[in-house]
Amino acid sequence: MFEVLTSEISYLRSLHVLTEHFMESRELEETMIIRDRKTLFSNILKIREVSERFLKDLDERIFQNVVFSDICDIINYHAKHNFPAYIDYVRNQIYQEKIFTELMKSNLQFSAVITRLQESPQCQRLPFMSFLLLPFQRITRIKMLIEVSSITQFLLSMSYCINISGLTVTRSQPINIMNVQQKDLQQLCDAVMSTWTKISEECFQRLVESMSQVIKRSLKAKWSPTCY
């Protein structure tokens, strides 16, 4: 699951751009009232804190084990105790997008500052809205990484020391296809994914809904008749 670690590093780096470059910009702050600023950035600082804790645990695990074999327990723990913060962020998405659109249309000072901040090299030519969407994308990305990486095959090829849902495999007993029941492996995978699925399900639904609105507006703008 090395991809989880590397992608989390990249994700956290982008969160720092959002919080430090945009949210903490004194110039941008002066263009908004407190209520609009709170709606726009929601609980992004909490999201960043969650990511930092998650990455810290991943870092500690990789130093403990060079082969970086098992992070399922880490993902399961954070899904239960920390990642619910993403749900709060997702629930605010409708208001977030609405206030951003209104500010861009009616607040020329806000629009000018946002445009200037977006031109910074650290944004890598990405618009401000793409940074706001990061938490939506991340909550579904981790789930996809787990599924695509095929946990079952990973467990079969490594030595583990796990205790999830009553299944215990010691590091001194490498897993072998011949002596591990398939149903036990499936139970382990289900245990790791169950809590994560509950968290990501609502986020994924909200993401699809919000992205569909963006796509519709883009298509409408693209195919609308143009007069010359």
Q: What is the pLDDT of residue 20?
A: 97
Distance of CA 178 to the CA centre of its chain: 37
Highest CATH level, class, for 1-159:
mainly alpha
Global confidence as pTM: 0.69
Q: What is the pLDDT of residue 226?
A: 43
At residue 201, does pLDDT exceed 70? Answer: no
Tens of pLDDT, residue by residue over 125-165, are 999 999 999 998 898 888 777 766 545 444 444 444 444 44
Tens of pLDDT, residue by residue over 6-39, are 999 999 999 999 999 999 999 999 999 999 999 9
Tens of pLDDT, residue by residue over 41-79, are 999 999 999 999 999 998 888 777 655 556 777 888 888
Q: What is the pLDDT of residue 183?
A: 46
Give the amino acid at 15.
Answer: L
Q: What is the pLDDT of residue 70?
A: 67
DSSP state, 122?
G
DSSP state, 224?
S
- Unique residue bearing structure tokens 């897993």: 175
80 vs 212 pLDDT, higher one: 80
Long-range contacts of residues 65-72, Cβ cutoff 8 Å, at least 24 apart: 67/158, 68/1, 68/2, 68/5, 69/158, 69/159, 69/160, 70/158, 70/160, 70/161, 70/162, 71/1, 71/4, 71/5, 72/1, 72/151, 72/162, 72/164, 72/188, 72/192
Q: What is the arithmetic mean of pLDDT over 157-183?
A: 40
